[in-house]
Amino acid sequence: MDAIRIYGGSCLDGQTTIQGSKNAALPILAATLLIDGTCEIENCPEISDVFHMQRLLESLGCTVEREETLIRVDTAGLSECDMPSDSVGVMRSSVMLVGALLARTGRVCMEYPGGCVIGARPIDLHLRSLRRMGVTIKEQEKGFCAETPGLKGAEMKLPFVSVGVTENLILAAVLADGTTTIEPAAREPEIQALCEFLQSAGAHIEGSGTQRLVIRGVDKLTPVRYRVPADRIVAGTYLCACMCAGGRVFLKDAPVHHMESVLEQAAAMGAAVEYEPDGIVVTGMDHAGTADVVTTGCYPAFPTDMQSPFMAVMALSGRGGRIEETVFENRFRIVSELRRMGADITIHGNTAYVAGNGRLHGAIVQAQELRGGAALVIAALGADGTSIVTNRHYIDRGYEDIVLSLRDLGADLELA
């Protein structure tokens, strides 16, 4: 049952509630390691990446309890600093635990993390930056061990914007001795959520949402209850589902204030978006669009996580378009699978040219990473005939139940 069968050709009509954010929940769960006591995290999505993070926390001695989307983390029993390779190997974001463990225990050993194959994403910058805070790191063929007698604040001038490095440095800095500055810092909403969580626990952080963060270390943090914001990428995916299949849907709790670039692009490509107090109403491709051109970038620019779903939209639009990927070097893995469905797409360097014949046909295709897998599902909604998307486990990393959510929106699909 690691596949999804999609019966294409039906317009959507329905509503679904947007889950909590994967990319906010993971660093916040890592941040609970900094707090001696029990934190309660609300609206955590029930996805495989969060389950892996739960297991990592438990392997370190924490007590983790879950009641639907509420997770309680009690770190009183924190005793280990070696992370099991079976969880680290499947989730790249496990690297964010390094900064938190160094701050709390002074030592951590782990294998190099894994995850989706969408680019090299080396952790060299993580390790180099932590060394500036007084960390000694011994690298081996498969992993590394890091130790520190005490983290020291430092001035971080990063060579480029990195969400993961920004998160790791925030987690290391909040309990460090002295002041840490991070520039250029990532500005993503998920970074802002992490800062909000830590600030509510007593951290001193200035500049959240800007390219310069100033963090003044404190002696301790106190347990808190925090609600994870809704997932802007999931909301964007279901918006694109409506653009692919046509129809009219309501996306409850869609975080519109964090989706400006996506909503602007959707409108330019022909979708209509109506804003409600508790979400958005999307009508798919109800008029001729004018701008099927996408360039990804760091927030607040168009997110790289949304370029695969928009590529599916372009392939079905009848006009085609162009996508320039500036964040990851290997994020066009969906192209070969869309070609199986009849798409005409050419790659030149970091740019994909979509000829957009307005028709796709059903096919058996393979998810090779998280967002590309979800994009294949929504492409199949607008295709003629039946499609099967294999390797559903990739999609489960970020979507609570994509089949149920799309059924709520009127799609015809099932597990296979």
The DSSP line for 42-93 is ES---SHHHHHHHHHHHHTT-EEEEETTEEEEE-TT----B--HHHHTT-GG
**229 Cβ neighbours under 8 A, 6+ residues apart:** 20, 21, 24, 43, 189, 193, 255, 258
Q: For helices 260-268 and 232-245, what crossing angle results, to 10°? A: 10
Q: How far apart are the C-alpha atoms of 162 and 320, rounded to whole Å?
A: 31
Q: How far apart are the C-alpha atoms of 310 and 305, rounded to whole Å?
A: 10
How many CB atoms neighbour CB 210 within 10 A?
13
Q: How far apart are the C-alpha atoms of 82 and 101, rounded to whole Å?
A: 10
Q: How far apart are the C-alpha atoms of 246 and 257, rounded to whole Å?
A: 24
Question: What sign does the dihedral 172-178-184-186 (CA atoms) show?
Answer: positive
The DSSP line for 293-324 is EEEB-STTSB-GGGHHHHHHHHHHHSS-EEEE
Residues annotated as catalytic (active site), given as ranges: 116
